[in-house]
């Protein structure tokens, strides 16, 4: 028996429910798609990738006798004109037939994926209800240039648009905006033939249509959404902020409603105007429903962040539904993981010294300085909570590692390493290119210098890092430390040597004094600098700064101020070779 390529049939679909998003959301980044397949051939557009994507499991109903997926073809005109003329096993199709059928020896379709059209053949005389739960995807394959492409569209089943309204802003489908609409076909149940749609006909969600495209096109819809990487917003365990780009391809103002289909808690936040007077921006919780405007032919950037302190059970998943009010409905999967060591890594920021104690009548209480002084600070927190005070760090990549038997294996993907011991640099490769050569990214501060113990270039601080706690460190600038303010390399009166360049006698006053800096960072519940963060205490943190200097004056010098640190890198270890 010879099989012939299936003809797409207009399927009757159930509406997708809840929150005008046309889907039943589960407590994850999944939705449930329900389709009613009629006896015969059904052209469907699968919008989700199920956890079990095996085609035999997705289309397991005994009444389903075959599933087809079109390949990219140079031309599909012949298929449209005469759908019963080509054998099923041509290069234009991938096929799945249940394995209890002899024709299954030709199977080459093994799994399903989101945003893909399929033709499903149902035997017998009864309809089949197909329910598929999976992860939606924001990515869609481009149209085949100057050919027909089998495709479904992200329309709102509760308010479907017409074909002309949907494609009017696509030059490849509406003659550069002047019309007419390119040829689009759907299957007519009554005649059993493909029939060209009328421009005013409504688009049905989850139905696959043959669409002619003039030239190249990646048109998504009147409302287009893009993620920085991949087909959704994946914060992972390290990203604090991701941008969702929303584009209005029409010539009219567009009101877009963003609906979070997940339940509580909602750890997503977004950057918004928080001070109308100063036009200050800050992070605020993303409500279940948020409406924003996109100007005609314009693009906006929705800055989204994640508050990992709100993540329970180690991970968070949801789906954002984007509705333009004119028939477009996009779905964006969102995921994030709680950080294993949420505060571990490199923290870099500024100290603003704005108070100084008077040495003649008030030795401990600082008074406001006429002008603040800004210094950079670098702290590193280990998974165990130990805090190190750094003067410089170099970000490198580990691309290979030697095993115990002497073999060298490639590290995939390359792992970020953070070095303060410069003797290890030759064992790693750089993270950026400079004149075609990979080099490391160096972060340093000129405000703090010390004699590093054992070449480590860091000092271990006392106390515990975190809101409500204090960490401290003592820096000693010995008379031989190059940055000691009393030491001068060439001036013989500032080197602790006599005229014969011998050490001074013990009864002679020193020329270079030992200087000690006792430093404390006290972390406050809110940032005293007024800045806001996606997750204060995990992404950014601030507090009060105090320092007592001895050796510069006969009395200790006390200064105070504020600080703001940003969690720059999440690498939890220093100088570690994996």
> What CA–CA distance (Å, rounded) separates 404 from 401?
10
> What CA–CA distance (Å, rounded) separates 183 from 10?
17
> What CA–CA distance (Å, rounded) separates 286 from 389?
36
CATH topology of domain 223-337: Immunoglobulin-like (2.60.40)
Give residue 562's pLDDT band: very low, low, confident or very high (50, 70, 90).
very high
The alpha carbon dihedral of 533, 538, 539, 544 has a sign of positive
Chain Cα centroid distance, residue 323: 22
Kindly tell me if the per-residue pLDDT of 7 is higher than 60.
Answer: no
The per-residue pLDDT for range 471-501, each reduced to its tens digit, is: 999 999 988 888 888 888 788 778 878 777 7
Domain edges within the chain: 12-213, 223-337, 345-394+433-478+514-569
What string of DSSP letters covers 216-278? -B----SEEEE-SSTTSEE-TTT--EEEEEEEE-SSS-EEEEEEE-S-S---EEEEEEEETTT
Least confident of 167-176, 299-308, 408-417: 408-417
CATH of 345-394+433-478+514-569, one of 2.40.160, 3.30.1490, 1.25.40, 1.20.950: 2.40.160
pLDDT at 453: 67
CB 112 within 8 A of CB 55: yes
Q: 456: helix, coil or strand?
A: coil
Give residue 406's pLDDT band: very low, low, confident or very high (50, 70, 90).
low
Strand pairing of 470-477 and 462-463? antiparallel
Chain Cα centroid distance, residue 260: 17
Q: 203: helix, coil or strand?
A: coil
The per-residue pLDDT for range 357-367, each reduced to its tens digit, is: 988 777 788 99
Average pLDDT over residues 148-153: 94
Average pLDDT over residues 21-44: 76
Share of the chain above pLDDT 90, in %: 56
- Between 419 and 25, the more confident residue is 419
Chain Cα centroid distance, residue 309: 17
Q: 81: helix, coil or strand?
A: helix
The per-residue pLDDT for range 179-197, each reduced to its tens digit, is: 799 999 997 777 767 899 9
CB 221 within 8 A of CB 263: no
Give residue 78's pLDDT band: very low, low, confident or very high (50, 70, 90).
very low
Give residue 201's pLDDT band: very low, low, confident or very high (50, 70, 90).
very high
> What CA–CA distance (Å, rounded) separates 13 from 207?
8
> What CA–CA distance (Å, rounded) separates 446 from 449?
7
pLDDT at 403: 52
CB 152 within 8 A of CB 206: yes
Cis upstream peptide for 413 (omega within 30°):
yes
> What CA–CA distance (Å, rounded) separates 86 from 79?
8
pLDDT at 402: 53
Kindly tell me if the per-residue pLDDT of 511 is higher than 90.
Answer: no
pLDDT at 438: 87
What string of DSSP letters covers 492-514? GGGSSB-TTS-BPPTTSPPSS--
Report the length, in residues, of the chain. 578
Give residue 407's pLDDT band: very low, low, confident or very high (50, 70, 90).
low
Q: 297: helix, coil or strand?
A: coil
Q: For the chain, what is the mean pLDDT?
A: 85
CA distances for 457 relative to 121, 378, 460, 511, 531, angstroms: 69, 12, 10, 27, 30
> What CA–CA distance (Å, rounded) separates 13 from 153?
14
CA distances for 436 relative to 130, 255, 424, 426, 442, angstroms: 54, 46, 22, 18, 17
| Model pTM score | 0.69
Least confident of 122-136, 314-328, 401-415, 517-531: 401-415
Instruction: Identify the CA nearest to 315 among candidates 217, 383, 237.
Output: 237
Average pLDDT over residues 399-422: 68
């Amino acid at each position: 028996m010879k099989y012939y390529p299936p003809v797409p049939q207009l399927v009757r679909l159930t509406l997708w429910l809840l929150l005008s998003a046309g889907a039943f959301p589960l407590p994850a980044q999944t939705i449930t798609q329900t389709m009613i397949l009629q006896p015969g051939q059904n052209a469907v557009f699968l919008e989700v990738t199920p956890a079990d994507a095996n085609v035999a499991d997705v289309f397991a109903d005994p009444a389903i006798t075959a599933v087809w997926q079109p390949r990219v073809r140079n031309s599909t005109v012949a298929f449209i004109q005469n759908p019963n003329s080509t054998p099923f096993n041509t290069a234009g199709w991938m096929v799945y037939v249940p394995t209890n059928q002899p024709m299954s020896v030709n199977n080459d379709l093994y799994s399903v994926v989101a945003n893909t059209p399929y033709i499903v053949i149902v035997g017998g005389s009864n309809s089949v209800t197909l329910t598929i739960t999976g992860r939606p995807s924001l990515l869609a394959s481009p149209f085949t240039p100057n050919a027909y492409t089998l495709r479904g569209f992200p329309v709102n089943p509760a308010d479907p648009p017409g074909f002309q309204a949907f494609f009017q802003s696509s030059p490849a489908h509406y003659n550069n905006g002047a019309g007419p609409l390119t040829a689009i076909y759907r299957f007519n149940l009554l005649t059993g033939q493909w029939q060209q749609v009328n421009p005013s006909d409504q688009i049905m969600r989850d139905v696959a249509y043959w669409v002619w495209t003039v030239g190249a096109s990646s048109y998504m819809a009147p409302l287009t959404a893009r993620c920085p990487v991949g087909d959704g917003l994946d914060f992972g365990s390290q990203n604090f902020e991701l941008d969702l780009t929303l584009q209005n391809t029409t010539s009219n103002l567009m009101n877009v409603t963003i609906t979070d289909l997940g339940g509580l808690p909602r750890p997503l936040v977004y950057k918004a105007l928080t001070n109308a007077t100063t036009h200050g921006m800050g992070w605020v919780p993303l409500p279940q429903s948020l409406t924003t405007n996109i100007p005609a032919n314009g693009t906006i950037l929705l800055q989204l962040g994640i508050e990992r302190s709100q993540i329970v059970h180690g991970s968070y998943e949801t789906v954002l539904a984007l509705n333009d009010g004119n028939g477009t409905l996009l779905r964006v999967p969102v995921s994030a993981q709680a950080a294993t060591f949420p505060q571990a890594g490199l923290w870099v920021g500024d100290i603003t010294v704005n108070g100084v104690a008077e040495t003649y009548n008030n030795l401990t209480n600082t008074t406001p300085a006429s002008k603040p002084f800004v210094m950079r600070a670098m702290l590193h927190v280990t998974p165990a909570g130990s805090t190190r005070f750094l003067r410089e760090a170099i970000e490198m990549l580990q691309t290979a590692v030697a095993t115990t038997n002497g073999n060298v294996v490639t590290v995939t993907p390359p792992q970020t390493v953070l070095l303060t011991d410069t003797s290890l640099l030759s064992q790693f490769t750089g993270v950026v290119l400079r004149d075609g050569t990979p080099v490391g990214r160096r972060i340093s501060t000129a405000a703090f210098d010390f004699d590093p113990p054992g070449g480590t270039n860091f000092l271990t601080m006392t106390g515990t890092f975190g809101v409500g706690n204090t960490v401290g460190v003592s820096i000693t600038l010995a008379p031989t430390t190059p940055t000691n303010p009393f030491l001068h390399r060439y001036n013989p009166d500032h080197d602790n040597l006599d005229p014969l360049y011998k050490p001074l006698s013990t009864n002679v006053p020193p020329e270079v004094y030992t200087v000690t800096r006792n430093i404390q960072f006290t972390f406050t519940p809110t940032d005293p600098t007024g800045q806001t963060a996606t997750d204060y205490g995990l992404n950014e943190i601030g507090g009060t700064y105090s320092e007592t200097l001895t050796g510069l004056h006969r009395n200790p010098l006390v200064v105070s101020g504020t600080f703001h640190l940003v969690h720059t890198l999440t690498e939890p270890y220093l100088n570690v070779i994996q």
